[in-house]
Amino acid sequence: MGMIIQEALFLLYCVFILLGNYSTVEASIGVCYGRVGTNLPPISEAINLIKSNGISRIRLFNPDPEALQPFCGTGIELLIGVPNEILPTLANNPVTTSIEWLQSNIFAHVSPNQVKYLVVGNEIFLKDPYYSPYIVPTITKLYQALQTLGLATTIKLSSSHASTILSNSYPPSSSTFDSNIKPFLLPLLQFLHDTRSPLMVNVYPFFAYINNPKYVSLDHALFRSSYVEYDQNLDYDNMFDASIDAFVYAMEKEGFEGIPVMVTETGWPTAGIDGASIDNAFTYNENIVRKALNNVGTPKRPGVGLDIFLFDLFDENGKSGEEFERHFGIFGDNGIKAYDIRFN
């Protein structure tokens, strides 16, 4: 009997360690607050909207004092971007420069206890490859700065990336990272592993659908497919789960197991192209919210919650690109929801 108890305790210990590797924080749902628009409501009204709808986390793409200061004292947790163009300055200067930058650009406007993540660069490998060599040196300097300020255990550092960092993503178990970015990505993964920080990715099944409608069905992208795909004896009935597990498999191929995945952007537009509609946006985002709040996880990591940020709080009429890029907003500029989604 004693041997059986010992074996049971050992199995429980293994499960604890395994789950501990995967999840560092309780899963939550947040919303990206993009501000590239001429008709956006005042920030004070936006914050009232955020609070009244039970949204507890917001992603700000830039540390704009005008946007940061009104959040101070609200209790809303923040994920704040470090702009791509500032990376060389922080990377090439002493840690004191990073300390001064944090204090003057962020902590002078909002309390450190509201800041949960700093996103060092956004989609650099895809949009601004010039800054690729500066990602990890900048993160290292900021980490040392946070250590000096006594904040390294409460504020996590990472960098947000487009799904294109994968050279192959289907099926998920065959996923690999683009070999061209590995010299910059692998040191980042090492940092994330060492500091128990997440790999931040922007995941859009919508783009997979509009770019490959012959191979990606609308139902599979919208969580309503009756068709199940099998990979390594795991069942995939939607594209979102397959996309997340693709990153997990790719990291494991490079020797990094247990790094959490955080979705820093995902969403569906309400207009602007075939497949974009209010009904489809509601269906997609509602399923994402339920997945996050219920800690559903993915087939490869079942029951392991995902921190997810929906894109976008408002439509942004100043965004460039295709028309649909300006129609990801969950709320209209009048503060009324485009569709009846709940965040809790």
Residues carrying an active site annotation: 123, 265
Helix (H) or strand (E) holding 126: helix 124-127
Backbone angle region of 241, left / alpha / beta, with phi > 0 → left and psi within -120 to 50 → alpha: alpha
φ and ψ at 120, to 5 degrees?
A: -85, 90
Q: Each residue of 27-48: b (16+ CB within 10 Å) or e?
A: bbbbbbbbbebeebbebeebbe
Q: Are strands 308-310 and 29-32 parallel, antiparallel or unpaired?
A: parallel
Q: CA 246, CA 30: separation in Å to the nearest integer?
A: 22
87, 45 contact by CB (below 8 A): no
Going from the C-alpha of 293 to that of each of 69, 235, 286, the distances in angstroms are 28, 21, 11
- Please confirm whether the linkage preceding 171 is cis (ω < 30° from 0): yes
φ and ψ at 182, to 5 degrees?
A: -55, -35
DSSP state string for 183-213: HHHHHHHHHHHHHT-PEEEE--HHHHHHH-T
What residues have CB less than 8 Å from 45, skipping those under 6 apart? 335
Q: CA 124, CA 115: separation in Å to the nearest integer?
A: 22
